[in-house]
């Protein structure tokens, strides 16, 4: 079988009105590029008759149609698509025509510069201010906290080398953090400003609740990318902080007591001290238990030993190995 170059992955939930124009535009661009491609449409439990419309598409486009039995969310839809990609390069875009397929060649060009994931940046975003402003703050915050410096994490329009989508697993609503997850796996991530169009048909599937959820997802991502293999480092630090503060407070009260300042048992500070001490110990035990779960993961029966999770690697062919000496090697000689 001939190797396929491109997989275009499109999650769609009730986007029937947008699909004909979207497919036309994608096909036009892909024909222009002139290499083998497939379009993977993931119908995320649409109830607007998307399936009936798609029937005609099979004859006209190189289509893989994946239907999720019920609406499962954008992350699940993308993951379902990723599970079926055959192309060397994966292109994702939203189904609502807000992303312009005409930008694909530019994104690909950027990918060729040596990146594994190129994300789009909706520099002039055509959405209501109620969405763009919180989104700005969100992106700024996530960039600062994760060190992955992008203006726009959650743009649906991205191009990837297939290895990236094979290595990240999306669940819940983690699609908002794909660049962070990819960077954590050691992939090179970049972004390119693109044009963005207002939604023509249908309505946005995400409301204001996205920011609260986004914050929780941020905590999840922050935790798993940093502490998944060493939870005690997080819980232990919190525990130390809290119990040490509690200890100091109680020490202070004890000294007072010996100096004859009594009673101390009815002072608010006394309760605060006890609270901090107990909470601190709880942080510690949470950390220990989490550490046990992690080590249990790594040392159950040998055959389940998930080596992959400890490091990220890929096997290089000899021509892929750079022949320049690394500074470290030189020093050894
Ligand atoms: N989407 C999906 N499942 C969902 C919600 C959204 O597949 O449960 C798709 C939707 O059809 C669209 C993309 O995800 O192709 C982005 O959704 P939307 O345009 O509503 O998000 P916004 O542009 O408002 O961020
Ligand atoms: Mg949209």
For residue 241, the Cα-to-chain-centroid distance in whole angstroms is: 30
Question: Are 240 and 217 within one domain?
Answer: no
Task: Decide if 274 is inside a domain.
Answer: yes
**Which domain CATH number covers 160?**
3.90.550.10
Q: Residue 214, Cβ neighbours under 10 Å: how many?
A: 20
Strands 63-67 and 37-43: parallel
For residue 70, the Cα-to-chain-centroid distance in whole angstroms is: 22
Task: Decide if 299 is inside a domain.
Answer: no
Question: Are 40 and 150 within one domain?
Answer: yes
For ligand 1, is residue 287 a contact (CB within 6 Å)?
Answer: no
Task: Decide if 304 is inside a domain.
Answer: no
> What pLDDT does residue 14 have?
96
CA of 295 to the centre of ligand 1 (A): 38
Question: Are 202 and 248 within one domain?
Answer: no
> What pLDDT does residue 332 have?
44
Note whether 54 and 95 are within 8 A (CB): no
Q: Residue 61, Cβ neighbours under 10 Å: how many?
A: 19
Residue 219: burial class (beta carbons within 10 Å; 0-12, 13-18, 19+):
exposed
Concatenated DSSP letters for 59-127?
Answer: HHS-EEEEE-SS---HHHHHHHHHTT--SSEEEE--TTS-B-GGGHHHHHHHHHTT-SEEEEEESS--S
For ligand 1, is residue 37 a contact (CB within 6 Å)?
Answer: no
Query: Comparing 113-127, 227-241, 263-277, which segment has the lowest mean pLDDT?
Result: 113-127
Q: Residue 41, Cβ neighbours under 10 Å: how many?
A: 25
For ligand 1, is residue 95 a contact (CB within 6 Å)?
Answer: yes
Question: Are 159 and 211 within one domain?
Answer: yes
CA of 96 to the centre of ligand 2 (A): 6
- Is pLDDT of 24 > 50? yes
> What pLDDT does residue 149 have?
92
Query: Comparing 24-33, 267-276, 318-327, which segment has the lowest mean pLDDT?
Result: 318-327
Task: Decide if 101 is inside a domain.
Answer: yes
pLDDT per residue as tens digits for the range 281-310: 999 999 999 999 888 777 665 555 555 556
Task: Decide if 155 is inside a domain.
Answer: yes
Note whether 159 and 85 are within 8 A (CB): no
Arithmetic mean of pLDDT, 217-228 = 93
Cα distances (angstroms) measured from residue 90 to each of 93, 161, 224:
10, 6, 25
H or E, element range at 289: helix 268-298
Task: Decide if 268 is inside a domain.
Answer: yes
Q: Domain containing 100: what range?
A: 6-226+309-324+326-330
Task: Decide if 301 is inside a domain.
Answer: no
Nearest atom in ligand 1 to 96's CA:
15
Question: Are 266 and 280 within one domain?
Answer: yes
pLDDT per residue as tens digits for the range 69-122: 999 999 999 999 999 999 999 999 999 999 999 999 999 999 999 999 999 998
pLDDT per residue as tens digits for the range 49-64: 999 999 889 999 999 9
Q: Residue 281, Cβ neighbours under 10 Å: how many?
A: 14
Task: Decide if 24 is inside a domain.
Answer: yes
Question: Are 169 and 284 within one domain?
Answer: no
Distance between CA atoms of residues 53 and 67, nearest Å: 13
Concatenated DSSP letters for 4-37?
Answer: P-EEEEEEESS-GGGHHHHHHHHHHHHHHHTS-E
Band (203; pLDDT cuts 50, 70, 90):
confident
Q: Whose CA is nearest to atom 22 of ligand 1?
A: 204
Question: Are 110 and 30 within one domain?
Answer: yes
Distance between CA atoms of residues 288 and 234, nearest Å: 11
CA of 94 to the centre of ligand 1 (A): 7
- Is pLDDT of 321 > 90? no
Ligand 1 pocket test, pick from 153, 205, 210, 214 with the greatest ligand atom count within 8 Å of Cβ, gives: 205
If DSSP codes are grouped into helix, strand and coil, which group holds residue 112?
Answer: helix
For ligand 1, is residue 230 a contact (CB within 6 Å)?
Answer: no
Q: Where are the beta strands (DSSP E) in 98-237?
A: 117-122, 158-161, 189-194
- What is the count of structural domains for the chain? 2
Instruction: Say if residue 263 is preceded by a cis peptide, omega within 30 of 0.
Output: yes
Band (135; pLDDT cuts 50, 70, 90):
confident
Question: Are 137 and 189 within one domain?
Answer: yes
- Is pLDDT of 170 > 60? yes
CA of 77 to the centre of ligand 1 (A): 10
Ligand 1 pocket test, pick from 94, 176, 178 with the greatest ligand atom count within 8 Å of Cβ, gives: 94
Question: Are 207 and 257 within one domain?
Answer: no
CA of 93 to the centre of ligand 1 (A): 10
Ligand 1 pocket test, pick from 96, 97, 174 with the greatest ligand atom count within 8 Å of Cβ, gives: 96
Question: Are 83 and 207 within one domain?
Answer: yes
If DSSP codes are grouped into helix, strand and coil, which group holds residue 85?
Answer: coil
Strands 189-194 and 117-122: parallel
Radius of gyration of the chain (CA): 26
Question: Are 145 and 278 within one domain?
Answer: no
Cα distances (angstroms) measured from residue 156 to each of 12, 132, 176, 241:
11, 15, 9, 40
Q: What average pLDDT is seen over the chain? A: 90
Q: Whose CA is nearest to atom 17 of ligand 1?
A: 205
CA of 131 to the centre of ligand 1 (A): 14
Distance between CA atoms of residues 171 and 271, nearest Å: 42
For ligand 1, is residue 94 a contact (CB within 6 Å)?
Answer: yes
Question: Are 155 and 277 within one domain?
Answer: no
For ligand 1, is residue 273 a contact (CB within 6 Å)?
Answer: no
CA of 37 to the centre of ligand 2 (A): 24
Arithmetic mean of pLDDT, 267-278 = 97
CA of 186 to the centre of ligand 2 (A): 29
Q: Whose CA is nearest to atom 19 of ligand 1?
A: 204
Return the ligand number nearest the Cα of 95.
Answer: 1
- Is pLDDT of 208 > 50? yes
């Amino acid at each position: 079988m001939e190797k396929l170059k491109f997989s275009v992955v499109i999650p769609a939930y009730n986007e029937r009105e947008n699909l004909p124009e979207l497919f036309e535009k994608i096909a036009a661009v892909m024909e222009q590029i002139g290499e083998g491609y497939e379009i993977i449409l993931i119908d995320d439990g649409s109830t607007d008759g998307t399936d009936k419309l798609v029937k005609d598409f099979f004859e006209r486009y190189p289509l893989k149609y994946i239907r999720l039995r019920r609406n499962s969310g954008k992350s699940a839809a993308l993951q379902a698509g990723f599970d079926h990609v055959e192309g060397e390069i994966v292109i994702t875009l939203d189904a609502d025509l807000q992303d312009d397929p005409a930008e694909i060649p530019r994104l690909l060009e950027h990918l060729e510069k040596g990146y594994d994931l190129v994300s789009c940046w909706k520099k002039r975003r055509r959405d209501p201010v109620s969405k763009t402003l919180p989104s700005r703050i969100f992106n700024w915050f996530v960039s600062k906290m994760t060190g992955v410096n992008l203006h726009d994490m959650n743009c649906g329009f991205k191009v990837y080398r297939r290895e990236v989508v094979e290595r990240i697993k999306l669940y819940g609503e983690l699609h908002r953090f794909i660049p962070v997850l990819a960077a954590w796996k050691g992939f090179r991530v970049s972004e390119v400003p693109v044009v963005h169009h207002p939604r023509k048909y249908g309505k946005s599937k995400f409301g204001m609740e996205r920011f609260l959820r986004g914050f929780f997802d941020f905590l999840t991502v922050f935790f798993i990318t940093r502490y998944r293999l060493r939870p005690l480092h997080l819980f232990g630090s919190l525990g130390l902080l809290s119990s040490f503060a509690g200890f100091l407070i109680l020490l202070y009260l004890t000294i007072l007591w010996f100096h004859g300042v009594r009673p101390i048992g009815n002072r608010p500070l006394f309760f605060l001290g006890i609270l901090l001490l107990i909470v601190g110990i709880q942080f510690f035990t949470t950390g220990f238990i989490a550490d046990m779960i992690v080590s249990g993961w790594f040392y159950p029966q040998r055959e389940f030993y998930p080596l992959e999770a400890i490091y990220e690697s890929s096997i290089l062919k000899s021509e892929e190995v750079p022949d320049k000496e690394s500074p470290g090697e030189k020093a050894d000689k």
